[in-house]
Amino acid sequence: MFEGIHYVHFVGIGGIGMSALAKWFLLSGIKVSGSDVHESDLTRDLARRGAQVYSGHAPGQVAQDVDLLIYTPAAPESNVERQAARERGIRMCSNFEFLGELSRAFSTIVVSGTNGKSTTTAMLGLILEAAGYDPTVLVGSLVPSFKDGNLRLGKGRFFVVEGCEYRANMLHLEPEMIVLTNVEEDHLDYYRDLAHIQATFQQFVDKLKGKGVVVLNADDAVSKNLEVNGSVQYGSYGTNGTYALLQRRVEYGEQTVSTSHGELRLRVPGAFNAMNALGAMAAAMELGVPFETCRRALFDFTGIWRRFERVGSWHGAEVISDYGHHPTAITATIEAAREFFPGRRVVLCYQPHQHDRTKKLFNEFVQALSHADALVLAEIYDVAGRNEDAEVSSHDLSEAMKKDDPSKDVRFAKDLRAAEAALRDLVESGDVLLIMGAGDIDEVARKLV
């Protein structure tokens, strides 16, 4: 698979997906170097594993004997390391293009959709591992039971990977099965509207015509509108799903999910995780895994990094870190916190991710954030390489919320230090503190605990 590749350099090596690919090469005995703007736990881990990691970008960091450069799409063509590689004729590709190449070497299962990709990918990978299929799994998060975190390097024929929908990157992949969680408006700096998003997912599922199965969420209206040959559906009872969720009850920090194939006990919260588990179970059973194996693997699953991750306690409050940055995910996560911690006040510290998303889904964010009992809004996280015109601020969100409900405690924080100070003044013993966002807001959770 890596014939002729002896040395790979990564531009943006600290990204969750990029770091997984870097580990893949290191575990395959290939020399790795890379650069990123900031040092992080991920870059430090790669350095411990033997990669040469640089802070910042410089042309001299692309060694003379590099024969492949993989870059994050956030690094523009003008990036000095990409320019140096181009001048020297070094082969270059994005991480998504390289994943596309990898997918051709396996029976590839792609988990895609607006929400739930990482959790469903992890669940499915763990089920296939428990079934003895020895899959290779690449996750956009860290899975505690995978010794390499965001990567499980197996020897079997299955490759389970997330299909990122931003800029239609999932179209690079060559799947034999697609698990489609849901389709909603997002990434509107690239997509024109929901119709454009649906058309792109139609292109994606069309890649399976005559050769594979689409496992789709029958509860999702947009997914149901896709024209799919050979689909298997999962969803709530009455939606005609082959794999149906009949009933769900929550008690003692667990939820029990009755399905058309048997009962699942889950140690992760929320109706959304029940659906993630059902989707993973449906895909696994279509691949020949017995229900009992699915049941055991899903009960053993305790979650992944930054997906309703219980970080610890602080001043008597339960601290949970979550990556959610879409209005639907925010609403679902707050509901999950209320289910698992009934009767407790939910305080949300949220950092919006990207100005364009915040601007175009502004009203949806105001509605979703209103579900929290009290709120600290950190300033919007700027995303490199994206449309960041800064026409909107978290302050605008806070003012809109105060106008809707003057009695709600809503506080604006200009940066992470101000957010931490606001939380120290706001949080009380017995609260549930949700710290949410896809930027660097997780630093606050780790620092508090």
- Write the pLDDT tens digit of every residue in 130-181: 999 999 999 999 999 999 999 999 999 999 999 999 899 999 999 999 999 9
In the prediction, which pLDDT does 387 show? 55
Give 55-92 pLDDT, tens digit per residue.
Answer: 999 999 999 999 999 999 989 999 999 999 999 999 99
Section 231-257 average pLDDT: 88
Are 216 and 175 in a shared domain?
yes
Alpha-carbon distance of 186 to 181, in angstroms, equals: 14
In the prediction, which pLDDT does 144 show? 94
Last residue of a domain, one of 267, 300, 333: 300
Alpha-carbon distance of 338 to 319, in angstroms, equals: 14
Alpha-carbon distance of 31 to 60, in angstroms, equals: 17
Last residue of a domain, one of 273, 300, 327: 300
Confidence band for 211, pLDDT divided at 50, 70 and 90: confident
Whether the CB-CB separation of 245 and 278 falls below 8 Å is answered with yes
Q: What is the CATH number of the domain that holds 86?
A: 3.40.50.720
The sheet carrying 177-180 orders its strands as 151-152, 136-138, 158-163, 107-112, 177-180, 213-217, 231-236, 243-251, 254-259, 262-266
Residue 254 lies in a domain: yes
Are 201 and 330 in a shared domain?
no
The sheet carrying 409-413 orders its strands as 309-314, 317-322, 432-436, 346-350, 374-378, 409-413
In the prediction, which pLDDT does 240 show? 67
Are 144 and 40 in a shared domain?
no
117: amino acid identity, one letter = K
Last residue of a domain, one of 300, 334, 358: 300
Section 190-218 average pLDDT: 93
Please give the angle made by the CA atoms of 399, 400 and 402, to the nearest 5 degrees: 65
Name the DSSP class of 430. Answer: T
Are 124 and 239 in a shared domain?
yes
In the prediction, which pLDDT does 289 show? 98
313: amino acid identity, one letter = S
In the prediction, which pLDDT does 230 show? 78
Residue-range definition of the domain harbouring residue 213: 106-300
In the prediction, which pLDDT does 237 show? 76
**Percent of the chain having pLDDT more than 90?**
89
Residue 61, CA distances (Å) to 32, 56, 64, 128, 208 in order: 12, 10, 9, 39, 41
Are 70 and 112 in a shared domain?
no
Higher-confidence residue: 283 or 74? 283
Give 8-63 pLDDT, tens digit per residue.
Answer: 999 999 999 999 999 999 999 999 999 999 899 999 999 999 999 999 999 999 99
323: amino acid identity, one letter = Y
- For the chain, the distance separating the N- and C-terminal CA atoms, rounded to the nearest angstrom, is 43
The residue among 334, 351, 329, 345 whose CA lies nearest residue 397 is 351
Could you tell me which residues come within 8 angstroms of residue 229 by beta carbon, excluding any fewer than 6 positions away?
A: 208, 209, 210
Domain count within the chain? 3
Alpha-carbon distance of 195 to 208, in angstroms, equals: 21
In the prediction, which pLDDT does 385 show? 60
The residue among 94, 87, 152, 105 whose CA lies nearest residue 126 is 152
Section 112-120 average pLDDT: 96
Confidence band for 125, pLDDT divided at 50, 70 and 90: very high
In the prediction, which pLDDT does 384 show? 64
Question: Residue 233: is its pLDDT beyond 90?
Answer: yes
Section 197-210 average pLDDT: 93
